[in-house]
Structure 1
Amino acid sequence: MPDRLTALDAQFLYMERPTAHMHVGGVSIVDPSTKPDGPLLFDDFKAHVLRRMHLVPRFRQKIAFLPFNVGRPMWTDEERFDIDFHMRRASIPSPGGHKELADFVQRVHSRPLDRTKPLWEIYFIEGLEGGQIAIYSKTHHALIDGISGMDIASVLFDFTPAARDVEPEEWTPEKEPTTLELLRHWAVDSVTHPIEAMAHQASGAIGAPKAVLGHVGTVLGALQQQIGSGMAPPSPFNVPIGPNRRFSFTDVPVADAKAVKNALGGTVNDVILAGVAGTLRRALIARGVSTANLSMRAMVPVSTRDESQKMALGNRVSMFFVDLPVGDMDPEERLHRISAATKHFKDSGQAIGAASLVGLTRWAPPTLHALAARLTVRQRFANIVVTNVPGPQVPLYLLGARLQGMYPLMNLTETMALMVAITSLSGNMGFGFTGDWDAVPDIDELPDHLQAAMSDLKKAA
């Protein structure tokens, strides 16, 4: 029986527009000089991916939509799966630096994925300075989120230069269901899902009624928090977007963020948010925008995935909003304000409430999901998204080539022209800035603004 998309995963399909593509991406830079048995070749990399495809079966499945959108879409095997469609080889011009790599990646990231195929692509990019190789992967948000993305990366990367001996498995696709079969699956699913969802939400009700009442209160509190947060202030980053993207990236040592945290308080994530606030302040000033008493509201996704769901694909996230002060103040005061806001969120338990709201929508009609998704996108609840996904803090290797850095790319929504994503790896945090081509022409300046903001925080510490 085909798997039905979760409510949240389906929303990413409903939100997609010609100008607002719902795929995310990532750039991984590897150093082939550490490879013990010669250069890293595209054909070897493609064979490596094929050998491990059985570990990510969703990557050989595509979306099947139900007639008249009567139910959420389903995952079905792609009978004509062809690895050559999904894996491509490219080269960037000399000198092969950050600028040339970003120029190539932003062009490819601007193109939507083909919904008639499994929703992913991987590019093997040569021509980087020092003989390095870049791997750009592009995956639809309906298939994967940041946390599960790290799990998928672990399928291709190894902890030692010698690749794990993974025995490939023969794959025989299931026959694609007919329209009638899809409707029959939907009918059965529609009967079972409401019972399942309500049972999940009410689990423990008999044994712990007070806990259940408290849980309901948390859900209502989260809902009130979302509604009561109001509109984010106007900004040059909140304008209708086009289909084309820009990208830039940089690194910040984890040790720097920890040193600031230890000296000034808060968490590493608070320091990251303070650094982003300083970056926005500099970008706005450079554009001639007044920042007096201004705060930019950030939406910060939080993973709700537990260990039992570690290798499960799909989006299990919640979110909270935090105001990033970009006015004239010293960096320590900016960090303290952000720390107080994030602490309030954690103490309120609103992440749990938001997760419960997502769970309750599992059995709602898909037309309601689509409407809710579109309303969320069109309302300016936040100016920017800042997402931080911790990666492994030990060396990783791709067929013996050591991984040097990872830099995420985000999807933009209809009126949010800039997003910031961070992935930590082996003591470094890779910052990726994804922006709309027309709204953020200065995206190449954001890495320098971030480095200056982090330098100010280090001086304050």
Structure 2
Amino acid sequence: MEQLNTLDAGFLMAEDSDRNVSLAIGGIAIIEGSTPNYDKLKSVLAERFKAIPRCTKMLRTQPFDVGAPQWVDDPGFDISRHVRRVAVPRPGGDSELFQVVADVLERRLDRDRPLWECWVIEGLKGNRWAILMKIHHCMADGISATRILTRLCDEIDGDAFARPAAAPRAARRPHLKPVPDTNPRSNPVTNLWRTATGITGTVSRTVSGAAEIAGGLLRPTAGSSLVGPVTAMRRYRAVRVPLADVEQICRKFDVTVNDVALAAITEGYRSVLLHRGEKPRPDSLRTLVPVSLRSHDALDKPGNRLSIMLPYLPVEQDDPIQQLRMVHSRMTRTKQGGQRQAGNFAVTATSYVPFMLSSWMIRFLTRLPQRGIVTLATNVPGPHRRLQMMGRNVARLLPIPPIALQLRTGVAVMSYADDLVFGITADYDAGADIDELADGIKIGVARLDMLSQDSILLFDRKSV
């Protein structure tokens, strides 16, 4: 029997710490054309779900956490308990769809059954329908959840996630670096010194990263309304921007797609703080940024393979170029500072601790009034090729992030075909201005795109 590792089980314990939290993630596929016959669709989905082993297994827990929960076959597995059907009210636009999504997010998954639900959503405007896939976070992280959603679609030739050949980038002045000596006959004393220095540097970065993570968790923010208790109700929004515009920004300013996404999220939260009459400060938006630790051959495996980083997003800056520059610099520095290594080390170390001890520690920590982290921003690469469902085109894919541990909002970013999509989950009471956040994200990308087309701008790469 396969057991949950400590990280996977931690998502169950985090959910247990707050009765108003449902720690499920997922995605929505919006599909063109008329809805197929429901019985036929359910039959197709049943066949595809049974080909995903984790989707037919349930959790068996141990009394008093004497051992880790185990994945076991559900002896009474019934697809009808997991595939549901709902229709949006007229006129069936995005606002009606998002309300249905929010309603589905509010309910916890039944732990006496396999921890997923699939909702067939009918009645969308423009002769469209949708499939909403909801998966408990203990079962999958963002990458594996996206892969599960993709496996529900029709098979296509080749890899749907394969990135198309990139256009050649403009020539840049090369930064010359010393070439490492890989000659096996080189001086053994020199090689030993380099190895020792490398190990010492790695340990130093890991210790430094652990200190930064601990400080971020323990040091409270300056009274931000973005963090605090949540209710049982949710709001959901999604924003699409052209991926070509984002890639143009990346080429112009020599940054990553993740940098641009985080800069746009920065602008969104700046708009929210100003709308609430709060002054954006340098320490206003400490952000939980999950980092995937998956190797290429583990992309389709279930479970969570994550570390974390905790950068401050520069909401105090009103200039979009300065925001992007600071995001890029801070993310580069955070990656080099050892937070990722520290998070990975902590997850690995817990596997050597008796589960009873680690579970009690996690349950204690998740019940503390966390106020050091303000929001979640996660980026998941989605399919670059368009998908189909029963011969119908999947027009859009929208990611769904969770909220928990007093984080009142969360943003998930996912690429699909020609789009980069931001999915936003918020507490119903604390996130009444979720449209301000969504509009701010869209405006942030639009401003950077406009500035990227100005050929006289230069990107200042000085450290912050």
**What TM-score, normalized to structure 1?**
0.84
Contact 2:268 2:436 in 1 (8 A): no
Q: 1:71 aligns with which of 61, 64, 67?
A: 67
Contact 2:85 2:119 in 1 (8 A): yes
Q: How does 1:409-428 map to 2 (within 5 A)?
A: 409-428=400-419
Q: 2:334 aligns with which of 345, 363, 368?
A: 345
Cross-structure match for 1:220: 207
Q: 2:130 aligns with which of 112, 121, 134?
A: 134
Q: How far 1:328 moved relative to its partner? A: 4.4
Q: Secondary structure at the match of 2:248?
A: helix
Comparing 341-350 with 300-309, greater Cα deviation is found at: 341-350
Q: How far 1:266 moved relative to its partner? A: 2.0
Residues in 2 aligned to 1:88 and 1:50: alpha-carbon distance in whole angstroms: 12
Q: Secondary structure at the match of 1:378?
A: coil
Contact 2:264 2:440 in 1 (8 A): no
Residues in 2 aligned to 1:279 and 1:19: alpha-carbon distance in whole angstroms: 25
Residue deviations 1:79-126 (CA, integer Å, cap 9, x gap): 011100000111111111000000111011101111111100000000
- Could you say which structure has the higher helix fraction? 1
Seen in structure 2, the aligned counterparts of structure 1 residues 246 and 367 have a Cα distance that, compared at 3 Å, is farther
Contact 1:122 1:135 in 2 (8 A): yes
Q: 1:120 aligns with which of 116, 122, 126?
A: 116
Q: 1:289 aligns with which of 275, 278, 292?
A: 278
Residues in 1 aligned to 2:101 and 2:138: alpha-carbon distance in whole angstroms: 21
Amino acid in the other structure paired with 1:453 = G
Residues in 2 aligned to 1:378 and 1:132: alpha-carbon distance in whole angstroms: 43
Cross-structure match for 1:40: 36
Say whether residues 1:157 and 2:153 are aligned partners. Answer: yes
Q: How far 1:139 moved relative to its partner? A: 0.8
Cross-structure match for 1:18: 19
Q: Secondary structure at the match of 1:325?
A: coil
Report the number of matched residues.
412
Contact 1:285 1:291 in 2 (8 A): yes
Q: Secondary structure at the match of 1:327?
A: coil
Seen in structure 2, the aligned counterparts of structure 1 residues 64 and 211 have a Cα distance that, compared at 3 Å, is farther
Cross-structure match for 1:375: 365
Cross-structure match for 1:30: 31
Say whether residues 1:80 and 2:97 are aligned partners. Answer: no
Say whether residues 1:276 and 2:276 are aligned partners. Answer: no
Say whether residues 1:336 and 2:332 are aligned partners. Answer: no
Q: Secondary structure at the match of 2:399?
A: strand
Cross-structure match for 1:200: none
Residue deviations 1:15-57 (CA, integer Å, cap 9, x gap): 1131122111211101127xxxxx5232222111221233311
Residue deviations 1:280-324 (CA, integer Å, cap 9, x gap): 111121222222556411111110011232221000011101111
The alignment-based identity, stated in percent, is: 33
Q: 5+ unaligned residues in a row in structure 1: which ranges?
A: 34-38, 165-207
Q: How does 1:363-442 map to 2 (within 5 A)?
A: 363-364=352-353, 365-372=355-362, 374-375=364-365, 378-442=369-433
Q: How does 1:91-240 map to 2 (within 5 A)?
A: 91-158=87-154, 160=156, 215-229=202-216, 230-240=219-229
Report the aligned-residue RMSD. Answer: 2.3
Q: Secondary structure at the match of 2:310?
A: strand
Amino acid in the other structure paired with 1:409 = I
Residues in 2 aligned to 1:423 and 1:437: alpha-carbon distance in whole angstroms: 23
Amino acid in the other structure paired with 2:439 = D
Amino acid in the other structure paired with 1:123 = W
Contact 1:31 1:403 in 2 (8 A): yes
Contact 1:15 1:370 in 2 (8 A): no
Residues in 2 aligned to 1:293 and 1:348: alpha-carbon distance in whole angstroms: 19
Q: 1:455 aligns with which of 446, 453, 456?
A: 446
Contact 1:160 1:400 in 2 (8 A): no
Q: How far 1:159 moved relative to its partner? A: 5.3
Residues in 1 aligned to 2:297 and 2:205: alpha-carbon distance in whole angstroms: 24
Amino acid in the other structure paired with 1:348 = G
Amino acid in the other structure paired with 1:331 = P
Residues in 2 aligned to 1:329 and 1:102: alpha-carbon distance in whole angstroms: 30
Q: Secondary structure at the match of 1:422?
A: strand
Q: Secondary structure at the match of 1:405?
A: strand
Residues in 2 aligned to 1:362 and 1:304: alpha-carbon distance in whole angstroms: 16
Amino acid in the other structure paired with 2:29 = S
Say whether residues 1:360 and 2:356 are aligned partners. Answer: no
Say whether residues 1:5 and 2:4 are aligned partners. Answer: yes
Amino acid in the other structure paired with 1:117 = R
Residues in 1 aligned to 2:223 and 2:38: alpha-carbon distance in whole angstroms: 46
Q: Secondary structure at the match of 2:102?
A: helix
Residues in 1 aligned to 2:359 and 2:76: alpha-carbon distance in whole angstroms: 31
Comparing 378-387 with 140-149, greater Cα deviation is found at: 378-387
Residues in 2 aligned to 1:222 and 1:84: alpha-carbon distance in whole angstroms: 47
Contact 2:135 2:145 in 1 (8 A): no
Q: How far 1:374 moved relative to its partner? A: 4.7
Q: 1:266 aligns with which of 255, 261, 269?
A: 255
Comparing 276-285 with 407-416, greater Cα deviation is found at: 407-416
Q: Secondary structure at the match of 2:285?
A: strand
**What TM-score, normalized to structure 2?**
0.84
Q: How far 1:70 moved relative to its partner? A: 1.0
Q: How far 1:383 moved relative to its partner? A: 0.7
Comparing 320-329 with 113-122, greater Cα deviation is found at: 320-329
Q: How far 1:367 moved relative to its partner? A: 4.1
Amino acid in the other structure paired with 2:427 = D
Residues in 2 aligned to 1:152 and 1:373: alpha-carbon distance in whole angstroms: 29
Residue deviations 1:125-153 (CA, integer Å, cap 9, x gap): 00001111111111111101101112212
Q: Secondary structure at the match of 2:321?
A: helix
Q: 5+ unaligned residues in a row in structure 2: which ranges?
A: 161-194, 453-464
